[in-house]
């Protein structure tokens, strides 16, 4: 078995997990992660921030739909 093939076998579960959870639009996952960090920061400074995530989720869905429509 070549090293390349062995590497492919080892990384296969991680590729599966990435494709399964993140899917075909990594920007949604990245923006959700950044939003969580921002909300954590705002919350630790006692700023009401619960409204931010639903807003971001809806906006990112719209952007993702648009990106897929263009493809």
Partner 1 sequence: MVSTSVVPVLITTFLASAVEAIEMVTIVVGVGATRGWRSTIIGTLSGFGVLAVVIAVLGVALQRIPIGPLRLVVGALLLVFGLQWYRKGITRVAARGFAGIGGQDPEEAEVWKGEGMDWTAWFLAFKGVVLEGLEVAFIVVAFGAGANQMGAAIVGGVGAVVIVGGIGLSLHQTVRRIPRSFLQLIVGTLLTTFGTFWSLEGLGVDWPGSDLAIVGLLVVYALSAAGYISLERNRIGGLKAAA
- Positions touching partner 1 (CB under 8 A) are 20-23, 25, 28-29, 32-33, 36, 39-40, 43-44, 49-50, 53-54, 57-58, 60-62, 64-65, 68-69
Cβ at position 53, least distance to partner 1 in Å: 5
CB 25 within 8 A of CB 63: no
Residue 17 belongs to what H/E stretch? helix 3-21
List of residues 6+ apart from 25 with CB closer than 8 A: 64, 67, 68
Encoded tokens for 13: 């579960």
CB-wise, 14 or 20, nearer to partner 1?
20
CB-wise, 6 or 68, nearer to partner 1?
68
């Amino acid at each position: 078995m070549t090293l390349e093939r062995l590497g492919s076998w080892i990384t296969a579960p991680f590729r599966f997990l990435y494709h399964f959870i993140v899917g075909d639009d990594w920007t949604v996952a990245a923006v959700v992660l950044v939003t969580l960090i921002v909300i954590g920061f705002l919350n630790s400074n006692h700023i009401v921030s619960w409204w931010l995530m639903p807003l971001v989720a809806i906006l990112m869905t719209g952007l993702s739909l648009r990106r897929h429509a263009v493809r």
